[in-house]
A and B are shown apart, each in its own frame.
Chain A
Amino acid sequence: MSTDDRSATITGDRSRYRLDLAVLDWIERLSDTQFVYVMLLPVFALLGTMAIWPLLYTANISLHADNIVATNPVGEFVGLGNYVDILTGQANLQRPFFSLETPFTSAVPVTLLFTVGAVAVETVFGLAMALILNKEFRGRRWARVAMILPWAVPIVIQGMIFYLMFQPSIGFAVGPLNELGLISTTPLATSRDGLLIAILADVWKQSAFMALLILAGLQSIDRSLYDVADVAGASKLQQFRTITFPLVLPALLVALLFRTIGALKVYGLVEATSGCNTVPTLSCLVIGLWNGNRYGSAAAVAFIIAAVIGVLLLGYLAQLRRHERGEM
């Protein structure tokens, strides 16, 4: 069939000349490398305009001063001035960038507390969930559906649920928790409580994601290792310590890395519960600056977030390489 198509174009009967066949023929004559790059053109086009160009643009304006009054909000070139101002606390921001006196209202401590708090609990919950889902029991399929469901909830609805739980006039949780002295009477308007609520909401939604990645690691463990351990008389706890945990560790670290990166970017969840004013994360700071037409500073903060993620990633990769070398 296709050989006929080809010969038709090659013999070149002008009246039967068809564009699609010409294209097919042209593709057929490309070398493998040329073919590959032609096929990748759509990806390059999409990622080029929607990702690479914006990143370069943002990098460029982060090196320019803010210009609030003029029509063009990008001011003169200042080099790394924006970064220096922000990192040394000289930039005039709505909320301090880094202040240990007010850790719950300054961007870096809030973001780090959120990340560490949420990811730590998610790791413990995720590991426990994965161990349970790895067992055979009746109704496992439905238990898994129920546990994945929070992961598939839109961020805005996730936020709405926790907003409705901690709304003082209606929420069942506010009264008792307040009496225990854990939260104030208006948790959604208090920075410390707002952060706590955001962590709770993130744990609710993301523990399942963690569990699924760890579960995949669990399922790749060779069953016969446990048989050997049973014969050797190892207890379940010993088996967990010597077989399960070390073998599941790589998957767990990947899950940990993914969640950490995700948590560092947090914005929507905060916006949908307490609001950026109460819980000013780093992404909130960027949006605030952008709304104030301070493009240079906004871009610089965006790249500071990216740099933090980059450092984390490199550290993780180095750790992974060491781990692999140590094993081999």
Chain B
Amino acid sequence: MRCDVSDATSDTESVIDRTAHRAIRDPDTVYQWLTYAGIGFFLTISLFPFYWLVVLALTPNRAIADMGVVPKGFNPGAFLEVFEVVPFHLYMLNSVIIASLSTIIVLTVGSIAGYVFGRYDFPGRTPLLLGILVISYFPPVAFLIPLFRLFTGQVTLIGLESPELYNTPWGIVMPLSAITMPLIIFLLTTFYRQIPDGLEDAARIEGSTRIGALRRVIVPLSAPGVATAGILTFIIVYNEFFFSYLMVNGTVEGWSPVLHGIFAFQGSQQVAYNLMAAASIIGVIPMAILVMIAQERIVSGLTQGALKE
């Protein structure tokens, strides 16, 4: 008995011995293993939650109880049922429209500001940039009460009755455009600064107008930066919770985004866990596609925008 145990340990010991020898002779292999272990660890952490959604979505709702980590059954029909129980496609459409409108506004207004801040040195530049930065540090709850009252027509601004934006896409688009604006302005400011001065000067000397030089020289050169800013804005607005939750009443007709579509499954009479999971997967798909095709832009945009601030 004792003999057996010592045999077994001596066998493993020799393996450990050999490994240790190799590690000492060549420490780089250890770091190599550590790297692979790390990759495995982080990939598991990142991807397991998605796998868990797939497990739940594929299991028929009656069978969902005391789940392990494999599906109990195979019911891909849940992905279709999602659209029958709740008009989930319309919630998705609302989200895409809201995110697109915000992106258009942020890009139009933000690129002009980024251009000006990036290429002109003028009195008041630094205080203005600082002011814009300060706005981005306020929590969204500090904007909520006035904006909600404004959008529900309870405030008169400079003698004007405010338009009722509650339950319209603008109720979400306008505040989110403002809140995303600082990041985008900083991103585009650094981007426009990198365009060489000589090009614009040359166009001006050639007799082009200010706007003409802007249109023919700066705009074409700025396309990559603007694309990055656009992708980031779209992702941020699509993923946002606060205003998307509070500035609409939760109905499809009231322009509620995906967020309310997901919550709609919690409210239905019978709790359909499989549909919640399926809806979550569908809701993530647009973002997953964006990350796959545009990861370089997202990475550079996030790091530049954040580090330059």
Write the residues of chain A forming the contact surface with B, with a CB cutoff of 8 angstroms: 1-3, 5-6, 24, 27-28, 32-33, 35-37, 39-40, 42-43, 46-47, 49-55, 57-58, 61, 125, 128-129, 131-132, 135, 137, 141, 143-150, 152-157, 160-162, 164-165, 167, 169-172, 175, 204, 208-209, 212-213, 215-217, 235-236, 251, 254-255, 258, 261, 264-265, 267-269, 271-272, 283, 286-287, 290, 295, 298-299, 301-303, 305-306, 309-310, 313
- Complex partner residue of B241 from A24, A235, A271, CB under 8 angstroms: A271
Contact A165–B52 (Cβ < 8 Å): yes
Contact A27–B181 (Cβ < 8 Å): no
Contact A137–B65 (Cβ < 8 Å): no
Contact with A along B244-279 (1 / 0, CB 8 A): 011000000000001100110000000001001100
What 16 new A-B contacts, CB under 8 Å, besides A148-B291, A169-B64, A272-B241? A2-B207, A2-B209, A39-B116, A43-B185, A46-B174, A58-B145, A149-B47, A149-B50, A152-B284, A154-B240, A154-B259, A156-B258, A157-B284, A215-B303, A267-B140, A302-B144
Q: Which residues of A contact B241 (CB under 8 A)?
A: 154-156, 267-269, 271-272
Contact B239–A303 (Cβ < 8 Å): no
Contact B177–A170 (Cβ < 8 Å): no
Is B139 positioned at the interface, with any CB of A under 8 Å from its CB?
Answer: yes
Most buried by B among A131, A137, A141, A152: A152
Given contacts A135-B35, A215-B303, contact A57 B145 (CB under 8 A): yes
- Complex partner residue of B42 from A128, A153, A268, CB under 8 angstroms: A128
> Please, how many angstroms separate the alpha-carbon atoms of A42 and B50 in the complex?
41
> Please, how many angstroms separate the alpha-carbon atoms of A55 and B235 in the complex?
26
Contact A208–B46 (Cβ < 8 Å): yes
Q: What are 12 A-B interface contacts by the 8 Å CB criterion?
A: A28-B209, A46-B178, A50-B178, A55-B143, A61-B145, A128-B38, A145-B295, A156-B283, A164-B277, A236-B27, A236-B31, A306-B142
Q: Which residue of B lies closest to A33 (CB)?
A: B122
- Complex partner residue of B120 from A32, A137, A150, CB under 8 angstroms: A32
Most buried by B among A52, A128, A265: A265
Contact A36–B120 (Cβ < 8 Å): yes
> Please, how many angstroms separate the alpha-carbon atoms of A137 and B246 in the complex?
45
Contact B211–A24 (Cβ < 8 Å): yes
Write the residues of chain B forming the contact surface with A, with a CB cutoff of 8 angstroms: 27, 31, 35-36, 38-39, 42-43, 45-47, 49-50, 52-53, 56, 64-69, 105, 108-110, 112-113, 115-116, 120, 122-123, 128, 132, 135, 137-148, 150, 157, 174-175, 177-179, 181, 185, 207-212, 235, 238-242, 245-246, 258-259, 262-263, 273, 276-277, 280, 283-284, 287-288, 290-292, 295, 298-299, 302-304, 306-307, 309
Given contacts A58-B142, A264-B139, contact A47 B132 (CB under 8 A): yes
> Please, how many angstroms separate the alpha-carbon atoms of A209 and B185 in the complex?
20
> Please, how many angstroms separate the alpha-carbon atoms of A52 and B147 in the complex?
11
Interface of A is mostly: helix
- Complex partner residue of A145 from B141, B242, B291, CB under 8 angstroms: B291
Smallest beta-carbon distance B32→chain A, Å:
9
> Please, how many angstroms separate the alpha-carbon atoms of A137 and B139 in the complex?
40
Given contacts A39-B116, A43-B112, A47-B132, contact A143 B262 (CB under 8 A): no
Q: Which residue of A lies closest to B309 (CB)?
A: A254
> Please, how many angstroms separate the alpha-carbon atoms of A88 and B108 in the complex?
47
Given contacts A143-B43, A145-B292, contact A170 B280 (CB under 8 A): no
Q: Which residues of B contact A24 (CB under 8 A)?
A: 209, 211-212
Smallest beta-carbon distance B274→chain A, Å:
10
Contact B284–A213 (Cβ < 8 Å): no
